[in-house]
A and B are shown apart, each in its own frame.
Chain A
Amino acid sequence: MNARRTIACLRLVGAAILAALLVSGCATPALDASRHDFYQGNYDKAEKELADIPATDKDRVLYLMERGTVRQARGRYEDSSRDFIAASDGIDKLETYSLSRGASSMVINDAVQDFRGAPYERSLLHAFTAKDFLALGKWDDAAVEARRIIKTLDPMARGDYPEDAYSRYMAGFCLELIDDPSNAALQYRKAAGLMQSGWINENTGRFLAAPPAAGVAPREAAPAHELVCFILIGGSGSGSSYAHGGGAVYATVENEGQTLGRSYHLSDTAELAFSTEQVEAVRKAAKTVGRVLVKEAIAESFEQRNNPFLADLIRFVMIGLLERPDTRRWETLPRLLQVARVPCPAGLKAFDVTFRNAAGTPVQTQHVVKPISQRGNIYVSFCRDLPLAP
């Protein structure tokens, strides 16, 4: 009788462990392969890896974020914006807390819950969508994303999580382009307040190396034509590593051998991820302790039924194997997010971006011909220090 009961219990535990392992989603080979290909410059392959995204996958939002970034790097701005908007819609739907997933996360781990991104990832999602629309010259749609950024960064929505200057600048710039200078100025002012060095003239969106002495923007003559180039450097790292990159820390913009200006640092995704971790540390620790206690209680119940082997097995699997932190992150995000706003000649068709290390030594130069869009006397572009597609 006792042996029969043990076998029945073993079956039950085996089934539960199998189910837990399946639900916990140990590996995402397609995602990992796609990220690897992306950072190698194999954008075509990276996109193919994510060709089919299951509609009900708990990581659907993450897949869409990653594929949107890959498609943006390939210059497929329309498709990229569709992915980003689908990811944003998915996040909105996840605002309703799932009791089933929540309960699973109390028994297995946090990775069984649907991925909806950290608050900084959600604001950057809109900033990246805005970039697609800027590249397409869809100014009204870019402004829609600006409003979504503002909504995401609202203290009521954001809570204690960090906000980022890059998204604020993007919101301000998109509003500036649709002739909404007062709201643009407000966003530029907030972005300036978040910058660790440098300053933004809220009336023009132009950068200064340091805040003016009186805190008042100096009068400056408007250049006939301007280039606003969003500069993206490095990668956001994976797992417990927050960043990786090739050593570049800023970029200069050149046209026909003449330096037009340099980029200014706005946000660092490694810092944002770290600050987010700090905000979540207490909540996560409390949840982990609670979960381990539940698992220990289950194991002890088997011990009390004279089944020490089963109790140890449960401890090994439920605590040893399944208990792990949720390190899911939008890994194709760049590490450093910067903007170069420089005077440029009329009829700009191409320019060079030289990525430089802290000593000013060039690390990589890219000849940019796409995207370059124009609204009035402002040219808009973006560039990232990724390997060029083979």
Chain B
Amino acid sequence: MNMKFVASAKIMTAAALVLGLCGCQAFRASTTDLNVNDPEHMGASYDYSDMRKLTEEVANELIGSEFLIKQQTPPVMVVVGVQNRTSDHNDTKSLTDRIRTMVLKSGKAQFINESRRDELLREQGYQAANATKETQVAVSRQMGAKYMLSGSLVEMESRSPRQARLSRQEIKYYKLTIEVTDLETSLIAWTTEKEFSRKASLPLIGW
């Protein structure tokens, strides 16, 4: 009788365990759509939420700046990129791409498509050789940029010292500098800095 009870208890426990694991969210593959406007940080490092926030702040400041307001016509700009001075392989082109999109949409500035120059020339060459006269684009009509947009993303980091502990504290500081340079005079016509820092704690012992 006692043996039977023990055996049934074992079977029931095993069944409960299997059912529990099957039903548990953590043991199933799943996907969730996130709202890109809600910041979601998994650590102290620069991530997509930071990229969105920084670019929005820079673009809004540039759009509302005296420098652009004073211009008679939207000036032509060329984006030369943001120097990555962090210790992570961040895609800094996404920073300038987003700033360019926002500023262009505001109608306050025009941009040269510098990253597609080779393709552009190839297409013009192809048209010159193959397209009809009526649909052919004219060559040597490209606009020259008056201003250059560039910048740098800097990171500074501090970590908790080596000692007996269960988690590691990490603080990261980031600063994005964006500048607009007059290509004729080489003077900086406009500049801004945006910064943030974040602290994260990572476990040093896990299963």
User: A interface vs B, CB < 8 Å?
Assistant: 85, 95-100, 140-141, 143-144, 147-148, 151, 156, 159, 178
Given A100-B207, A144-B84, 17 other A-B residues pairs in contact with their CB atoms under 8 A: A95-B168, A95-B202, A96-B202, A96-B204, A97-B204, A99-B205, A99-B207, A141-B84, A141-B89, A143-B84, A143-B85, A144-B86, A144-B88, A144-B89, A147-B86, A147-B87, A156-B161
Q: Cβ of A156 and Cβ of B159 under 8 Å apart?
A: yes
Known contacts A96-B206, A99-B207, A178-B83; decide if A85 and B161 are in contact (CB<8 Å): no
* CB < 8 Å neighbour of A98 from B84, B168, B206: B206
Which of A97, A140, A143 is the most central at the interface, judged by chain B CB atoms within 10 Å of its CB? Answer: A140
The distance in angstroms between the C-alpha atoms of A159 and B162, with both chains bound, is 9
How many pairs of A and B residues are in contact by the CB < 8 Å rule? 42
Contact with A along B181-207 (1 / 0, CB 8 A): 000000000000000000000111111
Given known contacts A97-B206, A98-B206, A100-B207, is B168 in contact with A140 (CB within 8 Å)?
no
Report yes or no: B205 in contact with A144, Cβ–Cβ below 8 A: no
B171 to chain A, nearest CB (A): 14
Chain B residues close to A by CB (< 8 Å): 83-89, 92, 157, 159, 161-162, 168, 202-207
**Residue pair B161, A97 in contact (C-beta under 8 Å):** no
For this complex, 23 residue pairs linking A to B, each with C-beta atoms less than 8 Å apart, are A95-B202, A96-B202, A96-B203, A96-B204, A96-B205, A97-B204, A98-B207, A99-B205, A99-B207, A100-B207, A140-B85, A141-B84, A141-B89, A144-B86, A144-B89, A147-B86, A147-B87, A148-B87, A151-B87, A151-B157, A156-B162, A178-B83, A178-B85
- CB nearest to A140 among chain B residues: B84
Measured between beta carbons, the chain A residues less than 8 angstroms from B86 are 144, 147
Establish whether residues B204 and A95, one from each chain, have CB atoms under 8 Å apart when the complex forms: yes
Residues of chain B contacted by A159 (CB below 8 angstroms): 162
Chain B positions within 8 Å of A85 at CB level: 89
Which residues in A have their C-beta under 8 angstroms from that of B204?
A: 95-97
